[in-house]
Amino acid sequence: MDLIIKNGLLVTPSETYKADIAVSDGKIVDIGYDLGTDASEVVDADSKYVLPGAIDAHTHLAMPFGGTISSDDYFAGTRAAACGGTTTVFDFALQDFDEPMLDVIKRRDAIAAPQAAVDYAFHIGVKDIHGELLDSMKDAVDYGVPSFKVFMVYDFGVSDGVFYQVLQKSKEIGAMISVHAENNEMVNYNVKKFLSEGKTSPWYHYLSRPEFVEAEADMRAIQWAKATGAKLYIVHLANKEGVAAVTKAKEEGYPIYAETCPQYLNFTSDVYKREDGRNFVCSPPIKGQESQDALWASLKRGDIDVVATDHCPFMQSEKDWGIDDFSKIPNGCAGVENMYPYMLAKANKGEITFNKAVEVCSANPAKIFGCGQKGSLAVGKDADIVIYDPVKDFTVTCDAMHSNYDQTIWEGTEFHGYPEMTFSRGNLVYKDGKFLGKAGNGKFVKRKLD
Ligand code: DUC
Ligand code: ZN
Ligand code: ZN
């Protein structure tokens, strides 16, 4: 045996129980009471929780965006992931115009494969479906990438007609469509108007994309998914009316899924009034208290399926481009190292259960995105395992994080309880604040939807 983790409290979405876990060749091979100590490595997890590694279903590593490139490359991003208990990241591979879908995957994998320190998968960000490109979605599905994202905003966002065709195609080929839902016309109108009135602070980033700008787009996207019968996953849901629309669609029996992110659960739009408000600029923007309350209620009810990060960090000097003009701030915040500690600290405080944290951060993304070998502690699954110390106190500082950035919205956040060790397919990649993994050890995860 390669590894036995003894005496820990194992957490699944439905159970918490004391047991040992045995690992061989990167897989969980046994779970039971007193599995002995006959292994190359034995870890005593008495008084600790033993959890499946988190799956961050939404990252933007080394992504050209906002006039620059997000500051975490595949090594830094996956190193940070490992140190926050995340053992798989799903990164967005953005299609170039005229590029067949399989080429998108291969182009990005050539960059990711030598760098990744934990396992990774891709969603394809679709920009262009002209000619045979729409049909090339099937090649991506056959290759193990059955999920695509469309943006309703940004200069590379798609038209309603393209979105509709992508939904239709996904139904035909068994794929999942994610959407960044905001109303582009309204955003552009508001931005122009505020700037012409000299309203340039980050607060106007929020006011140019308020609650209804996102809600309206959520509702349209849901309407089209219903009409086509496609599976739809709304990324970074942040507003209360969108939450209500998701709940209704689920009640009606449609395969509509929703994700939110820690920044929407933890902060409100008041951050845009802060002196460092530009560091919180992401899209959709962080919303008001009522929306935050709706997100938590929906997560507890089970209508929000997944918590993921939208991890897209930028350097302070880049965020500063927007000191006199909010529209010049590159959109995005860090989160990949903070998501699991944040959700687990909520569990540790009793605000949610550990089972719920495991469900939304690991089991559900694995299930929804067809990642059968991950997302749970069970015999035969990949040994992606986190040992969590519920009494360790930790304060986030840039210096203690493992990304390539010099500012984070999580600076100063205090957690009671923190991951102590992370194993990626049985290999120790993090222990007590130190990254122990290696670039290139992360593997591309091929997926197939149910
Ligand atoms: N929103 C962000 O804030 N950053 C990356 C992409 C996105 O949609
Ligand atoms: Zn987005
Ligand atoms: Zn995103």
In a domain? residue 1: no
- Percent of the chain scored above 70 by pLDDT? 100
What pLDDT, on the 0 to 100 scale, is given for residue 82? 99
CATH number at residue 274: 3.20.20.140
Res. 6 pLDDT band, cuts 50 70 90: very high
In a domain? residue 49: no
Q: Mean of the pLDDT values across residues 16-34?
A: 98
Closest protein CA for atom 1 of ligand 1: 283
In a domain? residue 316: yes
Query: Which residues form the domain of 126?
Result: 54-368
Residue of 283, 287, 314 to mutate, ligand 1, most atoms within 8 A of C-beta: 283
Of 3, 90, 31, 123, give the one whose Cα is nearest residue 362: 90
Res. 1 pLDDT band, cuts 50 70 90: very high
Res. 444 pLDDT band, cuts 50 70 90: very high
Res. 87 pLDDT band, cuts 50 70 90: very high
Of 442, 48, 38, give the one whose Cα is nearest residue 22: 38
pLDDT tens sequence across 111-121: 999 999 999 99
Q: Which residues have C-beta under 5 Å from ligand 3, the single-atom ion?
A: 310
Q: Where are the beta strands (DSSP E) in 317-401?
A: 385-395
Instruction: Identify the DSSP state of 360.
Output: I
What pLDDT, on the 0 to 100 scale, is given for residue 438? 98
Average pLDDT of the residues of the chain: 98
pLDDT tens sequence across 308-330: 999 999 999 999 999 999 999 99
In a domain? residue 404: no
Res. 136 pLDDT band, cuts 50 70 90: very high
In a domain? residue 210: yes
In a domain? residue 34: no
Res. 386 pLDDT band, cuts 50 70 90: very high
In a domain? residue 204: yes
> Quick check: CB of 66 below 6 Å from ligand 1?
no
Q: Mean of the pLDDT values across residues 76-93?
A: 98
In a domain? residue 144: yes
CA distance 179 to 93: 14
The answer to whether the bond into 52 is cis (omega within 30° of 0) is no
Measured in Å, residue 61 CA sits from the centre of ligand 3 at: 10
Residue of 310, 311, 333 to mutate, ligand 1, most atoms within 8 A of C-beta: 310
322-357 per-residue burial string, b: 16 or more CB within 10 A, e: under 16 = beeebbbbbbbbbbbbbbbbbbbbbbbeeebebbbb
Measured in Å, residue 59 CA sits from the centre of ligand 3 at: 6
CA distance 6 to 145: 36
- For 70, the token pair is 């997000």
Res. 84 pLDDT band, cuts 50 70 90: very high
Q: Mean of the pLDDT values across residues 376-405?
A: 98
Measured in Å, residue 87 CA sits from the centre of ligand 1 at: 22
pLDDT tens sequence across 164-178: 999 999 999 999 999
What pLDDT, on the 0 to 100 scale, is given for residue 182? 98
Number of domains in the chain: 1
Closest protein CA for atom 5 of ligand 1: 332
Res. 352 pLDDT band, cuts 50 70 90: very high
